[in-house]
Amino acid sequence: MFNSRIAIMVLAAVFSVGLMVSVPTFAAKSLTIKGSTTVLPIAQSCAEVFMDMHSDVNISVQGGGSGVGIASLIDGTCDIADASRSIKDKEKEKAKENNVRAYENVVALDGIAVIVHPSNPVDGLSVEQIKKIYTGGISNWNEVGGKKTKITVISRDSASGTFETFNELALDKERVRPDALLQASNQAVAQTVSRTPGAIGYVGLGYLSSAVKGVSVEGVEPTNENVINGSYELARKLFMYTNGAPEGIVKAFIDFVLGEEGQELVKKAGYVPLI
């Protein structure tokens, strides 16, 4: 009885360990992409289509954040590092030590629109006002030129790429007020804002619709053109770093992302294409 119990436990342990160990894959050519969760959807959808076109290529796409991606590029465990910021000087030095030359490829632009209910008279906000609303300094619309209504702050889950971008561009990495509603997707934020008269939220530029009102930031409308010409403040470039100028299979993939088909996927993922 005792023995059989031990046997069962061992079996269970083997079973659960087995689940955690991923099975290595063998393909003719393989490509590992790692890094920013913001760029992840682009890398993922491009990799899927690219693999459909080239059946002998196997691409593995992982998240982890820009820092993790660049670190992996430096120590040689990935071929392409996704990043939502440019490489830091410290990382450049480290790359030099390891004989890696980080080559910057801009693959897309990321803009974030701040949205309110269509009935809200507020048309524009400054970055400072947005920051105060999200961190707790301003809690009524009449403080920013609107009606006397309590502001319902809607944010994204703090692990998401959109949150990461917004947090960096608008909040200086300060903490969002604890009573902010956290929604799991761009659609859920837009849905909640469209049903809540006093709400403020933010979504990737690709998720703007007529059900909500996108306010101007520092007087600039949230449009793709304004992101591309650089006048809209809540926007940034997205990168894929490679070791040296891309060659071979890496070049084929980067070219695909920058091509018409890849940029179409960028748009579909809710980002601003370069062309």
Q: Which residues contact 62 (CB under 8 A, 6 or more apart)?
A: 32, 33, 34, 35, 78
Q: Got the DSSP string for 69-104? A: HHHHHHTTS-SEEEESSPPPHHHHHHHHHTT--EEE
Q: What backbone phi and psi angles, to 5 degrees, belong to 133?
A: -65, -45
Long-range contacts of 206-211 (CB under 8 A, 24+ apart): 206/267, 206/268, 206/269, 206/270, 206/271, 206/272, 207/113, 207/270, 208/113, 208/115, 210/118, 211/118
- Residue for token pair 């910021």: 85
Q: Which amino acid is at 188?
A: A
Q: 253: which 2 tokens?
A: 């993939």
Binding range to other proteins, per CB under 8 A, among 81-89, 187-195, 229-237, 243-251: 187-195
Could you say which of 158, 187, 209, 229 contacts other proteins (CB under 8 A)?
158
Smallest gap, in angstroms, from Cβ of residue 57 to other proteins? 24
DSSP letter at 63 equals E
Q: How far is the CB of 19 from other proteins (least distance, A)?
A: 8
Show the site string, 62-91: x = touches other proteins by CB under 8 A, - = not: -xxx--x-----------------------
In angstroms, give the least distance from the CB of 151 to other proteins: 8
Are the CB atoms for 95 and 187 separated by under 8 Å?
Answer: no
- Name the token pair of 164: 């990461």
Which residue, 182 or 220, is less far from other proteins as judged by CB?
182
What mask, x for binding other proteins by CB under 8 A, covers residues 159 to 178? xxx-x---------x-x--x
Stretch that binds other proteins, among 96-104, 109-117, 180-188, 247-255 (CB under 8 A): 180-188
DSSP string, 23-51: PP---SEEEEEEE-TTTHHHHHHHHHHHH
Per-position x/- string for 104-143, each x denoting binding to other proteins as judged by CB under 8 A, each - no binding: ----------------------------------------
> Among residue numbers 6 through 65, which ones bind other proteins (CB under 8 A)?
8-9, 11-13, 15-16, 19-20, 37, 63-65
Minimum distance, C-beta of residue 164 to other proteins, in the bound complex (Å): 8
Which span (71-79, 154-162, 205-213, 256-264) binds other proteins, by CB under 8 A?
A: 154-162
List of residues contacting other proteins (CB under 8 A): 8-9, 11-13, 15-16, 19-20, 37, 63-65, 68, 149-150, 152, 157-161, 163, 173, 175, 178-184, 188, 191-192, 195-196, 198-199
